């Protein structure tokens, strides 16, 4: 079953965690100094926030799937929508190891399709160097002219 994913960049993580914890009626499933994630079942959403970007607001949208077969189906949909789909296998991002596909919609919004394989102890790893990300926005590749995240 698929789960809608929203990642919002915020300035004051603690204040926003309190707000969304009250709004959703539950604490985050994952809480770090720079990141929080709620895995909601009603509505079925993976809602994440972080303070890792210079800009605030919606960082990217996505579809989280439960297995490799579902990811292949979503990947096919992305390829029908765009010729500029970028793959990431076994990537470390947002404290998780995942297989991903990224695309940018015509309005410049980054979309991520992903299957989470497990957790990792760091926010992410730079795809070019393999180094742990110190202070960077989402782990998306640069997409389109405007970039991502």
Tens digits of per-residue pLDDT, 17-49? 998 898 788 999 999 999 999 999 988 999 999
- pLDDT tens digit sequence for 118-142: 888 777 666 656 666 555 555 666 6
What distance in Å separates the CA atoms of residue 30 and residue 52, rounded to the nearest whole number? 16
Residue 75 pLDDT grade (very low, low, confident, very high; cuts 50, 70, 90): very high
* Torsion of Cα atoms, 46 then 137 then 12 then 35, to 10°: 40
pLDDT at 14: 93
Average pLDDT score, the chain: 83
Q: What pLDDT is recorded for position 143? A: 63
| More reliable by pLDDT, 64 or 93 | 64
Question: 3-state DSSP call for residue 84?
Answer: coil
The share of the chain scoring above pLDDT 90, in percent, equals: 40
Mean pLDDT within 75-98? 88
Of 90 and 130, which is predicted with more confidence? 90
Q: Which of 97, 101, 90, 83 is nearest to 140 (CA)?
A: 101
Set out the domains of the chain in order of their start, with CATH numbers: 3-119 (3.10.180.10)
Given pLDDT bands bounded at 50, 70 and 90, which one contains residue 147?
very low
Residue 72, pLDDT score: 95
């Amino acid at each position: 079953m698929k789960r809608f994913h929203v990642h919002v960049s915020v300035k004051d993580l603690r204040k926003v965690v309190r707000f969304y914890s009250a709004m959703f009626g539950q604490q985050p499933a994952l809480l770090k100094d720079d990141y929080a994630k709620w895995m909601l079942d009603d509505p079925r959403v993976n809602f994440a926030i972080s303070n890792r970007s210079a800009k605030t607001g919606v960082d990217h949208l996505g579809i989280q799937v439960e297995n490799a077969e579902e990811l292949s189906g979503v990947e096919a949909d992305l390829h029908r929508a765009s010729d500029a789909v970028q793959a990431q296998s076994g990537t470390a991002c947002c404290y998780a190891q995942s297989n991903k596909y990224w695309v940018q919609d015509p309005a410049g919004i980054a979309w991520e399709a992903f299957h989470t394989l497990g957790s990792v102890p760091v926010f992410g790893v730079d795809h070019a160097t393999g180094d742990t990300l110190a202070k960077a926005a989402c782990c998306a590749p640069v997409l389109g002219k405007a970039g991502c995240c």
